[in-house]
Structure 1
Amino acid sequence: MATDQTVSSRSTRDASQQSQSTLSCPECSGTLVTANREAHCRECGLIVDENQLDHGPEWFASEADSSRRRTGAPLTAGRHDRGLSTEIGRYRDGQGNTLSGQKRRQLNRLRREHRRSQWRSKRERNLATGLGEVRRLVSALGLSDSLREQACSLFRRAQKEDLCRGRSLEGVAAASVYAVSRCNGLGRPLEEISQVATCSRSQLECAYSAMNTELELPTAVPQPKSVLPRLATELGAPDEIQYRALELATIAANVGITTGRHPHGFAAACLYRAGQERGWMTSQQELAAVSNTSPKTIRAHRDTLLEVLEDQEKG
């Protein structure tokens, strides 16, 4: 109660000091009006003060409930019940106190029964298993939370269209992550996702092919500039080399020579050419190992890129 009185007295004191310091407009000496967290002049419209701090409480209490309880975590598509399920603790209560042995045994029994009654059907249980695999893959690949939500929503859509029937749940989950990365223009190859997935690459490709056909995914064509940052990071290339390689990839995309070519191989060729121009030497074997291509492919793309650069210099 004393805290509330202190906050209210502080806000009243700040408001009185502000009203005394801004009684008139500094431009035309007009009357100031305070509305929507800003003070402006009524005559000339000059904004004197804006984005004022609200020193009041950040909670709102009603007459029926005067407590300061929050509503909990927001809804998420990453869980089968949107995050509304109850989670029973293990060793400590809500106040942080250690539970006794008898209370822990009781909570273990409650947790077991709660786990058995958590899913109303086998379909919901499969959904929880698939979404858990999606969250694990996103965490292992270091993707953002927004991509995690998109992948979980895509898995829900695939299950709704009965694409999980006859296929591995882990394969559909990995395909959802791969499809989201491709739709957002990220350079995540199948090899990288299959290495952290618990399914085989054939299961991943089969599930992705079915999802791409049935769901009509807006898959973007992979470009060399989308995979360049990852290759440059793995090689430890300097920033100037990466910027020059991005310029070369943009020039090649504008001309149209990247169409129908392996994006990783062409990105490696851009890095190799940028390194030659800036004096950063790296072998073709290293580039081929990182980009999962061959040195012959890198040399062929490099020669094509050199022809375009020579034509631009002549023109």
Structure 2
Amino acid sequence: MSSSNMSSPKPVAPVTGLELPICVTCGVQYDAPRSDCPVCLDERQYVAWAGQQWTSLAELRASGRSGRLREEGPGVIGVGVDPSVAVGQRALLIRSPSGNVLWDCVGYLDDDLAAEIEELGGISAIAVSHPHFYGVMTEWGRAFGAPVYIHAADRDWVGRPDPTIEYWDGDIQLIAPGMTLINAGTHFDGGTVLHWADDPEGRGALFSGDIFMVVMDRRWVSFMYSIPNFIPERPSTIRRALELVEPFDFARIYGAFWGRVVAADGAAALRRSADRYLRFALDDEA
């Protein structure tokens, strides 16, 4: 990674896919018009009750939407859309001396938002947790000249393939100093979390999207195969995820939505949350 935080702002590349179709329900952009959205046809998501609907970046811009930036934690800036698009998640700009990393993505980008982020040091790499949060990730990767890291197990869900997308295999992948992707495998086979070892507090942070979902009681997380359809995750999958994350220390867990952050004791919160989940999931087997 380059030391983009220390450099002067530079122009970002223009958006080239203004008219490409974006699913209204999930916010994923595709490379050509189509009649259906595979992400929404999957049992983890849903087709809107009124049927499949499409929009585009051009339409979203014309609707009056704008980017929203807000601090979510030490060295972490939330990146969202107002009014929200599709699922309503916010991405997170992790401000590292070795180069900013964008964690997860949204279904929107405009020139003003890109310029604001460039003022903050730009983006050196993008990593996305799972298909529901792909949004317009190809546009983001092209605009900032940044690689977009996607686990290879979820390759078939990518709606707009592009050379900016880098598929990685295996359990872990270092993408920058102190930045490690972990294939937790919950929610999707390629479901990924990001560990930041060098956060400003010096205690470590885990960025989980809804692979580990920070719940309303922000001392806890949960594990779902499908969130909107209330399908629980498999116990064996959760156990594997815990084994992979166990070696990493972290105090904070950043979830998928505004304010969904476990602010302290994150590693212990993950473990006790898994213990509680498994206790209920396996109760009939005891």
Shorter-chain TM-score: what band? under 0.3
Is the helix fraction higher in 1 or 2?
1
Q: TM-score, normalised by structure 1?
A: 0.26
Is the strand fraction higher in 1 or 2?
2
Q: TM-score, normalised by structure 2?
A: 0.28
Q: Which has the higher contact order (CA 8 A, sep 6+)?
A: 2
Larger radius of gyration: 1
